[in-house]
C-alpha cells in the first residue's frame, strides 16, 4: 500500500498539481482529493467564510452571495437570488434558440453546444460555427454572455484548442463531462470519463494552464457512469484541476434523462468542494426550481429542456424572487411567443436547408406543447408538412407574424 501511495504522489508531482491538493490512494483505481486550508478561506462550524472582504450573506455552500459575478451578469448580477444558466442541448439549443430565449430575459449565462476535440487543432471557424456569438463579444443579441463548451478526452489536445479559443475572447470555457450519448461515450468523451477521476484532473489542470485567469473556466458533470461511487472524487478532481465553478446534472449517465433528478447529491458535492456548484436536471416549473434550490442547497440552477418547453420560465422565476405574481393563465404568454416563433422560423430558414428547416420548427413546437395548448394545435397542423412555403402559410393562419419576405 505504501508503494501505491508513493506512486500516486509521484504522479501528482509530475502532473503539476495545484499546491495544497494531495491525492490519497483509497483503492487501486480511486483517488480522493483533499485540500488544506489557505489564507483565502477557512471552514468553521461547517460554513466556509471568504477571507477576501466583508462577511456578506452566506448560503449553505458557504459562498457569499454578495460577491461579484465572474460572468458579468446583467441586472445587478442577480446573484442574491442565484444565477439562472441556459443549458447546452446538442441539436436543439443552438445560437438561434439561444437568441430567442435570451430575448425574453432572465438568464445570466448561456453555454454553447459542445465542440468535439479529437486529436487536432481546430481552426477559428470551427469555434465560430458552434458559437457565432463570438463575433459579438461572446454575447447573444440580448447581451447574455455565452461560454463555449469543449468535449474530449486528451488533456494536451484540449489544452491546445482551449488556447486557440482564448484568442476569440469567449465569455467562458466549459468542459463537458456529462454527455450521455453512446456515440460520444464510445470514443472516450463525455460522461464516460467520470469512471476515472484522475483523468478528469489531468484534463482540467492542462486546460487551466492554457487559459488566462480572466476567462471563467468551468465544467459540467453527471453523478457518474452507472452509480455514485466516484461522484465526490470527480468533483474534487475538477476543483483541484482549477475550475471556478461546477454544474452538476443530478443523474448518472445510465439514467439519461429519466426522472427523478437527485438534487440532494448536488448538496453533497457542495459540502466537499469550495467552488460554486450549480444544480441541473428536471426543472420544468417555478415550483421545480424552488424544490431544486432547497434540496440542492444551491441558489444557482441551469435549465435545459424546461427552458425550451417554456421560454418564459426564467422570467417567471425572477418575478417570484422579486415578490411579483405570475399568471396561471398562459394565453397572454402565447401571444408574446408568436413573434418569437416568427423570428426563430426566419433564422432557421436562413441557417439550414429548406429540407431541414421544418424539422427544426417541429422539434420546438413539440416541446412547447407541454405548457401551451395553442402549440398543440399548431404542431398538429405543421407536423405533416415538408415544404417551407406550406409551413409559412400554416404559421400565418395560426397568428405567427411571418414577414412577406418569408412567404
Supply the DSSP symbol for 18. Answer: P
Distance CA 189, CA 154 (A): 9
Q: Which residues are catalytic?
A: 179
Report helix, strand or coil for 88: coil
Name 76's Cβ contacts closer than 8 Å, sequence gap at least 6.
none
DSSP 155-207: HHHHHHHHHHHHTT--S-EEEEE----HHHHHTT-GGGGGG-HHHHHHHHHHH
Distance separating alpha carbons of residues 251 and 271, to the nearest angstrom: 18
- Sign of the CA dihedral running 53, 56, 61, 67: negative
Burial of 295 by CB count in 10 Å (0-12 exposed, 13-18 middle, 19+ buried)?
A: middle
Which single residue is written with the C-alpha cell 476569440? 168
Q: Give strand pairing partners of 247.
A: 220, 278
Q: Are 41 and 48 in contact (CB under 8 A)?
A: yes
Sequence-distant (6+) residues with CB within 8 A of 87 are: 93, 111, 280, 302, 303, 304, 307
Q: Are 132 and 148 in contact (CB under 8 A)?
A: no
Here the cell at position 152 is 474530449
The radius of gyration of the chain's CA atoms, rounded to the nearest angstrom, is: 22
Q: Tell me the sheet residues that pair with 145.
A: 139
H/E run at residue 381: helix 373-382
Amino acid at each position: 500500500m505504501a508503494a501505491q501511495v508513493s506512486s500516486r504522489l509521484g504522479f501528482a508531482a509530475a502532473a503539476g498539481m495545484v499546491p495544497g491538493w494531495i491525492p490519497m490512494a483509497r483503492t487501486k483505481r480511486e483517488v480522493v482529493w483533499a485540500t488544506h486550508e489557505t489564507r483565502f478561506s477557512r471552514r468553521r462550524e461547517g460554513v466556509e467564510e471568504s477571507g477576501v472582504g466583508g462577511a456578506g450573506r452566506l448560503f449553505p455552500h458557504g459562498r457569499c452571495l454578495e460577491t461579484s459575478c465572474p460572468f458579468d451578469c446583467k441586472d445587478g448580477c442577480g446573484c442574491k437570488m442565484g444565477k439562472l444558466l441556459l443549458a447546452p442541448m446538442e441539436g436543439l439549443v443552438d445560437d438561434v434558440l439561444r437568441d430567442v430565449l435570451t430575448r425574453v430575459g432572465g438568464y445570466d449565462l448561456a453555454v454553447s453546444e459542445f465542440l468535439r476535440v479529437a486529436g487536432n487543432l481546430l481552426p477559428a471557424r470551427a469555434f465560430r460555427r458552434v458559437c457565432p456569438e463570438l463575433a459579438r463579444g461572446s454575447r447573444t443579441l440580448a447581451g447574455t454572455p455565452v461560454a463555449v463548451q469543449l468535449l474530449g478526452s486528451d488533456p494536451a489536445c484540449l489544452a491546445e484548442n482551449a488556447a486557440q479559443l482564448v484568442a476569440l475572447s469567449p465569455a467562458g470555457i466549459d468542459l463537458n463531462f456529462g454527455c450521455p450519448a453512446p456515440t460520444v461515450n464510445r470514443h472516450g468523451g463525455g460522461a464516460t470519463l467520470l469512471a476515472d477521476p484522475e483523468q478528469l484532473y489531468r484534463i482540467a489542470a492542462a486546460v487551466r494552464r492554457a487559459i488566462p485567469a480572466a476567462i471563467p473556466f468551468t465544467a459540467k458533470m453527471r453523478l457518474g457512469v452507472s452509480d455514485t461511487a466516484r461522484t465526490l472524487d470527480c468533483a474534487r478532481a475538477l476543483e483541484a484541476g482549477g475550475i471556478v465553478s461546477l454544474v452538476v446534472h443530478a443523474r448518472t449517465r445510465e439514467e439519461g434523462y429519466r426522472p427523478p433528478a437527485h438534487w440532494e447529491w448536488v448538496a453533497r458535492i457542495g459540502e466537499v468542494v469550495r467552488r460554486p456548484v450549480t444544480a441541473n436536471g428536471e426543472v420544468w416549473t417555478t415550483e421545480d426550481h424552488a424544490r431544486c434550490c432547497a434540496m440542492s442547497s444551491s441558489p444557482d440552477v441551469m435549465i435545459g429542456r424546461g427552458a425550451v418547453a417554456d421560454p418564459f420560465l426564467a422570467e417567471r422565476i425572477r418575478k417570484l424572487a422579486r415578490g411579483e405574481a405570475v399568471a396561471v393563465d398562459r394565453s397572454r404568454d402565447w401571444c408574446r411567443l408568436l413573434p418569437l416563433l416568427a423570428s426563430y422560423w426566419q433564422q432557421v430558414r436562413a441557417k439550414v436547408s429548406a429540407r431541414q428547416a421544418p424539422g427544426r420548427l417541429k422539434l420546438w413546437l413539440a416541446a412547447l406543447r407541454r405548457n401551451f395548448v395553442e402549440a398543440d394545435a399548431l404542431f398538429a397542423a405543421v407536423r405533416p408538412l415538408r415544404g417551407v412555403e406550406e409551413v409559412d402559410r400554416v404559421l400565418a393562419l395560426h397568428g405567427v407574424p411571418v414577414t412577406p419576405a418569408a412567404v
